[in-house]
Amino acid sequence: MSIVSVISEYNVNKENLLRFFLMTGTQARSDLSGDAGHQSGA
């Protein structure tokens, strides 16, 4: 496995982790604030 493929693999995983944390964080905020959270997220 080349270094480039390892780095690109890491970047993909990092991107997915960031997206996952953003999604769960937004969901938690909208759960806390109710409809206001859904409007600000849109």
pTM assigned to the model? 0.43
Mean pLDDT of 8-30: 86
Mean pLDDT of 32-39: 60
| pLDDT given at position 3 | 86
Smallest Cα–Cα separation from 37: which of 23, 16, 18? 23
Dihedral, CA of residue 35, residue 27, residue 25 and residue 39, to nearest 10:
-30
